[in-house]
Structure 1
Amino acid sequence: MTAGLNLRSIAAIAGAAALPVAMLVVVALMVIPVSPLVLDISFVLNIMISLAILMVALQASKPLDFSAFPTVLLLATLFRLALNVASTRVVLVRGHEGTHAAGNVIEAFGQVLIGGDYVVGLFVFVVLLIINLVVITKGAGRVSEVSARFTLDALPGKQMAIDADLNAGLLTPEEAKARRQEVATEADFYGSMDGASKFVKGDAIAGLLILFVNIIGGLILGVFTHGLSFSEAGGTYVTLAIGDALVAQIPALLLSIAAAAIVTRVASPFDLSGQIGSQFASPAIWMAVGGILFILGLVPAMPQMLILPAAALSFTIGWQMKRAAAAAAAVPPPAPPAPDPHLIEWSDVSDASACQLEIGYALVALVDDRKGAPLMGRITGIRKQLSKELGFIVPPVKVSDDLSLPGNAYRIAIAGVIVGEDEVYPHEMLALDSGDLVTKVAGRPCKDPTFGLDALWIPKASQNDAIAAGYTVVDPATVVATHLNNSVIASAHELFGIDDTQALIDNLKAHYPQLAQNLSPGGYTLPRVAALCKALLVERIPLRDFRKIAEAMVALSAQQLTDSDLVEAVRQRIGALIVQTIVPSRMPLPVVTFSPEIEVLLNQAVRANPGAEWPFEHGMAMKIVEQIGEAVEPLLLQTRSFALVASPICRSALSRLVRATFPDVAVISYLEIPANKATEIVATIGAERPRLALGPDAQMEDQPHEY
């Protein structure tokens, strides 16, 4: 264990010391004479490093994949200049011995690449220098300059965009930190590349100057020091100088190409070869090229023996690409691997669908596309209508068959809780008793799943007879859809969550930015706003006018109310919205009130148990529900719209009590009724004072009436 740690420590120290040692070696090459063998090894190493840098640049998917390139370019340039100094020293000191005096690499470049003709070599070097300096280096430098300018100009906007995404919750703090680092690194990279391109340009100019130094210095030393003739000195020293210049210029050209490839790179999931190949892989491109070459080859003066084969090659490439694309499209996708029976996934233990409709096997025809899927179309219409009414997007309904259900049964689940189930018969019709029948028809008695009305399942052939007899006849898909519609309305608060709250606030920001801005500083966190909205939905108050709700919350922000008090205070400020959900604006509001004695008892019960979920004593609660039922059931049978009106003190607790038995009855307070809204008392609960107790030990006392 200790030995392994020591080896790792030594390796880490060696890696950290590699770069300083390399810099010392570069400096040593400039000032210390080296042998031709060391010079040959260094030249080969220089070519190898340049090729490696070029390969890394070509394999990068985006410029930042090679973010160390500016520093690497500087180090490679220094290494090459150090070699130029060392080789110049060797050429001038030992050049009179012959072309082999400066090492095999320089001799090979001077003899093999230029054929021993130093005039040709001089022109070759000049051409390479022009290509490197005028074309590649100048273009890469211009691209680097423009990229650096645009990147720095866009830096504040990118930083603001990251902050906006972070505030909107689209990014985590860690992701935002990583993106800021990436943006800063990108700006630094292009700024460094703008300066690094000057190294390449300076290196090319230095190569030209070093060439003239070697030629002039070699001629002077060869003629005046070593006694060579001018032609001998020219043949030897010029060949060595040109070989040395070419040995340095070719790696410089490779680095210039790498720099140009990096700065002109566009971010892509592929490397450079993959990106170019994907964009040239269209058969139409090669077919067009082949057609143009073919037409060009028909011109008499053109070399048909070269152009026509090129046209044929282009046609062949295009045809092969088209054939490969057709073959790939015809190949069926690979079959998914067989599930591992021992593997348990999250989908096996949870279901992300908030609304679920499970049906028996006999009801599959209602959702079968081949048979029109009547139920699916109705479900889509229900979602659109309820989304408009409730004020938020109702999630999709997942419809699935369940073999554990009886064939004609269905089950509705909201947020994992079963809220409705019944049976329908796909080949029959449901005839609802309207209460005003002319005659009766034969059928299977049942209760309507949605409203609990008396009904019959009758054959489709008896539909016209049932309508003539006064029944309301509906098809099975409508029965299920209506049941689903009422279940979603009753459980809308279960479907509404934090994400829906954020969507409401985002929509508010788009249309009322100042209102949305004042909503958060008022102490309203996202969960608290969501809790308020859910409390309103529980009592079937829609959120479609969220602006009014937000204005009420902003107006109440200075009062430091509890969550329950905030709900009641907001209700009082949006009373007009609540009332219009009960009756149209031009109609008076039918109300059911309590006698003063009953209302005193209700208020006393709430005051005796402040903050309690169920403040009413059991016997008292049962008696209240019984009397409410006697008053409202005739109105419910007449399908009249009305509201049960109570004191603001007991409204919330009374609403919870009434909702358990009469979920369709709206319970409002006197303060929620607008001052200009006409009311009509249709019933009074507790006309005679009941003998009710507040609790096990409480005594009944005469109290003044409270409203």
Structure 2
Amino acid sequence: MPLKRLTQLGVPIGIVAIVVMLVVPLPAMVLDVLIALNITGALLVLMVAMFVKRPLDFAAFPAVVLVMTLFRLALNVSATRLVLLDGYAGKVIDTFGHFVVGGSLVVGMIVFVILLVIQFVVITNGAGRVAEVGARFTLDAMPGKQMAIDADLNSGLITEDQARQRRADVHAEADFYGAMDGASKFVKGDAIAAIIITLVNLIGGFAIGVAQLGMPMGEAIQTYSLLSIGDGLVSQIPALLLSVATGLIVTRNTGDDDMGSDILRQIGGNRMPLRIAGFAAFSLCLIPGLPKIPFLLAGGLMLLASTRVPVEEEPQTPEQREAEALPSPDSPERLAAEIQVDALGLELSPDIIDLVDPSVGGDLLDRVKALRRKVASDIGIVVPPVRTRDNIELPARTYAITLFGIEVARGEAPPGSVMAIGDLLGNLPGHPTVEPVFGLEAKWIPSELRAQAELSGATVVDRASVITTHLSEVVTQHAARLLGREDVRLLTDVVKRTHPVVIEELTPAQLSLGEVQRVLQSLLDEQVSVRDLVRIFEALSLRAAVSKDLDGLVEAARQALGPAIVAPYLQSGDVHVISLDPQLEHRMLESMRSTEQGAVLAMDPELGQRVLMQLTALGREAEEADQRPVLVCAPQIRAALRRMVRPTLDRLPVLSYTELTGSGQVRSAGVVTGDLSLTTAGG
């Protein structure tokens, strides 16, 4: 049988065997073996409890306590059966009854009672109380630990995987201490059961010996008392070991070493206490009548140990430690750290800090974290951590979004308000505003009027959603700037794990990381997702073998992503296009000029102005018809035409004919001719 299968079946089979032992009689020889196994197992559990570095390293301990307790009780039942039936329960119990206690009934009783007092009154009660308090404190501390993990994740101090592991550790710790609180009850119940079983053996054995076996009363008392006490001692020794292990586990703090190393290091880590203890032992020798040699030996050992302790340095204040940890103010490292700016930041005025305070229901940090995941899945880049901080210089109820330390957007989020978006808001009290992403008319209304606004047909959005949506729009618009060289390296490494040949052919053989970065930035600049990096890199590899011109590389990547580029503009399977008159398109092709920033259209300014006017009018007509039009042209002029229309019509996508292939039904939304008349789809 494979080892893994054996480990899976070992414990269940053992538990079933323990239950069988409660019913089926065992021979004395088998009972001896099981008693030896019980004592050895309890000793093993104690050693494991001492050598773990933290309680969670022995997370199975509560279950081990239950199994070991059940095993010991089964042995008690089997031993009781043999004692009462045969007056003999094996060599182990017989030896404990005669040799360990010297064959004396009184000595055996005293030793047994002492063990019970130690286990039941001292160790078990103490461990149970510690487990109960530990479980309560661990549960109370869970929300704070979760908040700390979320704060570290949002600030970029830990990764998503590290945060997931920390959350699992927090839940595991709570479950462990809760289970230990219950396991301590098993240990206490085992001690009570030992007293009852011993009394049953004493009374029942005496009655059977006298009534059934015809033994004299003295002989019956001597025989069954020694057997009962031997059985009790054999049970109490492993029970005591398990109780000690329970106390060690619940009182164990997380450390870097095992318990023995931690204790010796902490007790013997200071020279002065050892010296004081040594001289105190010497001073006890002055008391008349006390033996001198034991105290001289103890004091000598303490003084000898103190000489092995290194001289302790004067403790530093927190300010001194912080000053030493940081480089000097004039060092290059300190100056470099101070001049670094955050890639993406969110600043809040002091009166809206409640948005990030979980104690009052603020969940903005969680939403920003979810936003990073959403952006990664939508456009294919890893957004840097958003540094959220307060800014007393901001006006009241205001937030600001910064990019590389420069403010790029600003909005309002009044406390106690929600944003209502709609046309019928005149009857609602509040502060008129404009929705920051789409420019829709809106109004900040009191939160209490949310239901009323929804009944009037308005769309109601809470403050955190407004800020998150605004932040998402800013990230999407500036995704190209947020994509750094290190991010490109990370993306290529991810692709290399699954498609190594694609990366090996592309970089650095054909294109450098900088050239790949420029292509990806150009795609992101036009709101094109770069999630499908495999097809992008394959297209770049083919194009780079012919030319490394940036516009050509971008067009090759866009052609590979054609259906994905058109997909956002499909409406019921149709794409509405604004096309160019063939003569106008030919004039544009002739007017193309190459510059350092790429190809541009050197057209007559008057003609260019008429083209923009017609595009604006056609786009407005399409939007009024609830359409989302795109401008299509030949792939040779697409990049140049995009540069021409972007300053005026930034939201108008410019696609090439090749990108429309296989992208649904194409419907015309108008044709741009370049003259003063407009040719629309219907005319």
Deviation readout 1:163-196 (Å, 9 max, x if unpaired): 3333333332222222222111111111111111
CA deviation map 1:190-242 (0-9, x unaligned): 11111111111111111111111111111111111111110010110101010
- 1:501 equivalent to 2:348? Answer no
Separation in structure 2 between the aligned mates of residue 13 and residue 161 of structure 1, nearest angstrom: 40
Q: Which residues of 2 match residues 299-698 of structure 1 at below 5 A?
A: 299-300=287-288, 302-322=290-310, 393-394=338-339, 500-502=342-344, 505=346, 513=353, 549-551=408-410, 557-558=437-438, 613=597
1:63 corresponds, among 55, 66, 71, to: 55
SS at match of 2:308: helix
Q: CA deviation at 1:508?
A: 6.0
Q: Aligned in 2, Cα 1:379/1:218: closer, same or farther, shift over 3 Å?
A: closer
Q: Is the 8 A contact 1:43 1:247 kept in 2?
A: yes
In 2: Cα distance, 1:37 partner to 1:297 partner: 53
Q: Distance in 1 between matches of 2:198 and 2:331?
A: 81
Q: What code does the residue aligned with 1:143 have?
A: V
Q: Select 1:72's aligned residue among 64, 74, 80.
A: 64
Indicate the SS of the match to 2:141: helix
CA distance in 1, matches of 2:204, 2:244: 32
Number of the residue aligned with 1:103: 90
**CA gap 1:29/1:168 in 2 versus in 1, 3 angstroms:** same
Name the structure 1 match of 2:569: none
Residues 611, 116 of structure 1: CA spacing in aligned structure 2 closer, same or farther, 3 A cutoff?
A: farther
Report the alpha carbon displacement of residue 530 of structure 1 after superposing the two structures with TM: 11
The CA deviation at 1:513 is: 4.4
2:284 corresponds to which of 283, 288, 296: 296
SS at match of 2:107: helix
133 and 119 in structure 1: CA distance in 2 versus 1, 3 angstrom threshold: same
**Residues 462-481 of structure 1: per-residue CA shift (max 9 Å, x gap):** xxxxxxxxxxxxxxxxxxxx
Q: How many angstroms apart in 2 are the aligned matches of 1:56 and 1:93?
A: 38
Question: Partner residue of 1:214?
Answer: 201
Contact kept, 8 Å, 1:515 with 1:551, in 2: the verdict is no
Amino acid at match of 2:343: T
Alignment partner for residue 134 of structure 1, among 121, 141, 146? Answer: 121
Q: Give the conservation status (yes or no) of the 8 Å contact 1:144–1:197.
A: yes
The letter for the 1-side match of 2:56 is L
How many Å apart are 1:113 and its aligned residue?
1.0
Q: 1:176 aligns with which of 133, 138, 163?
A: 163
Q: Which amino acid aligns with 1:210?
A: I
Cα distance in 1 for residues equivalent to 2:191 and 2:131: 18
1:46 to 25, 38, 43: 38
Q: Distance in 1 between matches of 2:236 and 2:219?
A: 25
Taking the aligned partners of 1:290 and 1:304, their CA distance within structure 2 comes to 14
Change (3 A) 1:530 1:180: closer
Q: CA deviation at 1:18?
A: 1.6
> Using a 3 Å threshold, how does the CA distance of structure 1 residues 524 and 18 change in structure 2: closer, same or farther?
closer
Please say if 1:246 is aligned against 2:105.
no
- Per the alignment, do residues 558 and 69 of structure 1 end up closer, same or farther by CA in structure 2, a change over 3 Å counting? same
SS where residue 196 of structure 1 aligns?
A: helix
Change in 2 beyond 3 A, CA 1:527/1:261: closer
Unmatched runs of 5 consecutive residues or more in structure 2: 314-326, 357-363, 387-401, 414-433, 440-472, 482-590, 603-683
Helix, strand or coil at the partner of 1:306? helix
CA distance in 1, matches of 2:30, 2:384: 76
Q: What residue is the counterpart of 2:17 in the other structure?
A: 25
CA contact (8 A) 1:61 1:267 kept: yes
Change (3 A) 1:55 1:564: closer
Q: Are residues 1:228 and 2:228 paired?
A: no
The alpha-carbon distance between structure 1 residues 379 and 213, as it changes in their structure 2 partners (threshold 3 A), is closer
TM-score (norm 1): 0.50
Query: Alignment partner for residue 83 of structure 1, among 64, 75, 79?
Result: 75
User: Which residue identity lines up with residue 501 of structure 1 in the other structure?
Assistant: A
SS of alignment partner, residue 207 of structure 2: helix
> Secondary structure of 1:551's match?
strand
For the structure 1 residues 269 and 246, does the alpha-carbon distance in structure 2 shift closer, same or farther, using more than 3 Å as the test?
same
Q: How far 1:551 sits from its partner (Å)?
A: 2.9
Amino acid corresponding to residue 35 of structure 1 in structure 2: P
**Structure 1: 5+ residue stretches without partners:** 1-6, 96-100, 327-375, 396-495, 532-542, 568-606, 619-707
Structure 2 vs 1, CA of residues 501 and 514 (structure 1 numbering), >3 Å: closer, same or farther?
Answer: farther
Query: Offset of 1:303 from its aligned partner?
Result: 3.5
Q: Which amino acid in the other structure matches residue 84 of structure 2?
A: L
> Structure 2: which amino acid aligns with 1:312?
G
Cα deviation, 1:240-285, whole Å, max 9, x if unaligned, reads: 0100110001110000000000000000010000110111223222
User: Normalising by structure 2, what TM-score?
Assistant: 0.51
Deviation at 1:378, TM superposition (A): 11
Q: CA deviation at 1:152?
A: 1.3
Secondary structure of the 1:170 match is coil
- Cα displacement string for residues 486-533 of structure 1 (whole angstroms, at most 9, x for unaligned residues): xxxxxxxxxx6xxx325x54x7688974899699789999989999xx
Deviation at 1:148, TM superposition (A): 0.7
Given the superposition, is the C-alpha separation of residues 88 and 168 from structure 1 closer, same or farther in structure 2, using an over 3 Å criterion?
same
CA distance in 2, matches of 1:129, 1:318: 38
Cα distance in 1 for partners of 2:163, 2:310 equals 44
The answer to whether the Cα contact below 8 Å between 2:592 and 2:601 also exists between their aligned partners in 1 is no
Residues 169, 134 of structure 1: CA spacing in aligned structure 2 closer, same or farther, 3 A cutoff?
A: same
Residue aligning to 1:112 = 99
**Mapped contact 2:274–2:305 kept (Cα < 8 A):** yes
1:264-317 residue CA offsets vs partner (Å, 9 max, x unmatched):
000001000011011122322211211222233334454433323322221112
AA paired with 2:51? Q
1:145 is aligned to 132
Residues 1:186 and 2:173 are matched in the alignment: yes
| Distance in 2 of aligned mates of 1:26 and 1:232 | 34
Per-residue CA deviation, residues 16-52 of structure 1 (Å, 9 max, x unaligned), is 2222221222122211111110111111011011111
SS in 2 for 1:267: coil
| Aligned 8 A contact 1:159 1:180 in 2 | yes
Q: Distance in 2 between matches of 1:23 and 1:153?
A: 35
AA in 2 matched with 1:43: I
| Alpha carbons of structure 1 residues 237 and 565: separation in structure 2 relative to 1, 3 Å | closer
The CA distance in 1 between the partners of 2:54 and 2:333, in whole Å, is 49
How many residues end up aligned between the 2 structures? 397
Q: 1:508, 1:547 within 8 Å by CA — same for their partners in 2?
A: no
Q: C-alpha separation between the residues in 2 aligned to 1:529 and 1:87?
A: 68
Decide whether aligned partners of structure 1 residues 566 and 278 sit closer, same or farther in structure 2, where only a CA change above 3 A counts: closer
Supply the AA of the counterpart residue of 2:301: L
Distance 1:510 1:289, change over 3 A: farther
Contact 2:343 2:404 in 1 (8 A): no
Instruction: Assess, with a 3 A threshold, how the Cα gap between structure 1 residues 565 and 609 changes in structure 2: closer, same or farther.
Output: farther
